[in-house]
Amino acid sequence: MEDLVRITSEPTARSLPRRRRPEWLRIKLATPESFRQVRGLVEKLHLNTVCEEARCPNIYECWGEHGTATFMILGDICTRRCGFCAVATGKPGPVDPEEPRNVAEAVAKMGLRHAVLTSVDRDDLEDGGARHWAAVVEAVHGRNPETAVEVLTPDFRGVADALDVVLAARPEIFSHNVETVPRMYRKARPGSSYERTLALLADASGRRDRGEYAGRVKTGLMVGIGEQRDELFATLSDVRSAGVEVLTLGQYLQPTREHLPVDRYVPPEEFAEYKRFALELGFAHCESGPLVRSSYHAHEHVGGTLREG
């Protein structure tokens, strides 16, 4: 009985009071004409964006000031239920065969020199969606030969040939997010594996080192979700040992009361410390700050890479 009382009386994310955001996390809201144009284009071509689905805090800046967006392919329903993510979970619909063409058209109309693609997890598909990923990358390159493509993929459940298929399409940046430290995976990333994530990044890095892949390898983590500092330092060391070159670090923000609560708000000076540590480890680029997200200013922190060939 004591165990039952203890378990049922533990606070839930919904019951915990939300922490007040500090000044450095205040977001400027603005919807200029460029913002409305991007939104209109996304709606017209029936596209999904992680900017909207994941409630990204930078949507007003990216859509409004820079006219950029991160396209989310393979639908807007995810087969996993991560504790930090606002994307809906359930049974996804069929893959849209027109999506590669529509994404390529949107990239062209927006005049993007660096396009970022991501997706929901599609564990219902035999290849995890890898062939569709390749089709979208090839369509964007075909319609926009001067545009660099950055892919932020799921882990494809460890399907053996998935990475082969995606990298054969020659994306300029291959990215897969570690998201958090190993101890937090059970809460934050059920259905995913820290070891599988590192193995995928190490595989991509190994292909780059052997000259089989000409692009860069990238990952991202969020902080303030419950990790300890020593755990974060150890994770960054693991990631660098896997050969990752580009790193992003940002503050976790609770999307709704149904999601994991914010453990703490990390101050800007601590983000600066993490960046120094990452660069000392040998990362070529590190974006570290409260509002940094995987695709935030992506064209800048990868050196403005353009497609060759």
CATH number of the domain that residue 135 is part of: 3.20.20.70
* Weakest-pLDDT range from 53-67, 153-167, 253-267: 53-67
The stretch 50-78 carries a mean pLDDT of 63
- Secondary structure of residue 163 in the 3-state scheme: helix
Question: Does the pLDDT of residue 84 top 60, yes or no?
Answer: yes
Q: Determine, yes or no, domain membership for 3.
A: no
Number of residues written out for the chain? 309
Q: Which residue has the higher pLDDT, 194 or 116?
A: 194
Q: Determine, yes or no, domain membership for 137.
A: yes
Total domains, the chain: 1
* Alpha carbon distance 282, 244 (integer Å): 9
Q: Determine, yes or no, domain membership for 2.
A: no
Place 14 in a pLDDT band, splitting at 50, 70 and 90.
low
Q: Determine, yes or no, domain membership for 198.
A: yes
The stretch 222-238 carries a mean pLDDT of 97
Question: Does the pLDDT of residue 54 top 70, yes or no?
Answer: no
**What's the domain range around 229?**
30-301
Question: Does the pLDDT of residue 64 top 50, yes or no?
Answer: no
Q: Which residue has the higher pLDDT, 137 or 33?
A: 137
Kind plus residue range of the DSSP H or E element containing 6: helix 2-8
Q: Determine, yes or no, domain membership for 192.
A: yes
Q: Determine, yes or no, domain membership for 10.
A: no
pLDDT of residue 71: 86
In the numeric block, which tokens belong to residue 138? 């090839």
pLDDT of residue 48: 61
Helix axes 268-281, 229-241, angle to 10 degrees: 30
Q: Determine, yes or no, domain membership for 9.
A: no
Q: Say what percent of the chain tops pLDDT 90.
A: 60
Mean per-residue pLDDT of the chain:
83
Q: Determine, yes or no, domain membership for 81.
A: yes
